[in-house]
Amino acid sequence: MNSDLEYDETEDNPTALLKDLRRQLKEQSSRNKQLEEEVSQLRETTRSKSLSSALSEAGFPESVAKFVPSDVEVDGLAEWLKENGSLFARAGQAQDEPTVSADVVRDSQRQASLAENGIPPQKADELMRQIEVAESPEDIDRLLREARQFVL
């Protein structure tokens, strides 16, 4: 009977009815927004955990999940990894160290040594010319001794 009185009061006062309906609509909209945010967070958390688990099973670190585009779901992860997996090291797999031949290392050490000792290119050219025009083995030995002071 009390609800009849309330209804009768609002029936007589349409402004109060509109205010009440607007208040209820606002409360419902607020509640819907809150629920949508919770659902969004739950989806994100679920996706993150699913991706991390799938990546671990595939042998990749879980940190790769942050690079997986948002439009790739767990079902499409295998295909995405086929295309992009080479960009990431698998878990427990060391990154390949670049290999450099011993000749390259030796040459770079010689170049560094020459740069440190400051041999001017003109001196190297002069020694080469003198070796080319040397007339006796003694001249060549003398020039080689002179050149050794510049080379390791």
Mean pLDDT of 129-151: 81
- Which residues are CB-contacts of 141 (< 8 A; sequence separation ≥ 6)? none
- pLDDT tens for residues 103-138? 777 777 767 666 666 666 677 778 778 888 888 888
Distance CA 137, CA 41 (A): 86
Question: Can you tell me which residue has the tokens 């402004």?
Answer: 15
- pLDDT tens for residues 60-74? 888 888 888 888 888
Evaluate whether 131 touches 140 at the Cβ level (below 8 Å): yes
Distance CA 115, CA 150 (A): 10
Identify residue 16 by its one-letter amino acid code: A
Domain ranges of the chain: 2-87, 118-152
In this predicted structure, the answer to whether residue 152 has a pLDDT above a threshold of 60 is no
Q: How far is CA 50 from CA 61, 80, 122, in A?
A: 13, 15, 67
Of the pLDDT bands very low, low, confident and very high (cuts 50, 70, 90), residue 49 is: confident
Evaluate whether 51 touches 68 at the Cβ level (below 8 Å): yes
Distance CA 102, CA 107 (A): 9
Question: Can you tell me which residue has the tokens 């699913």?
Answer: 50
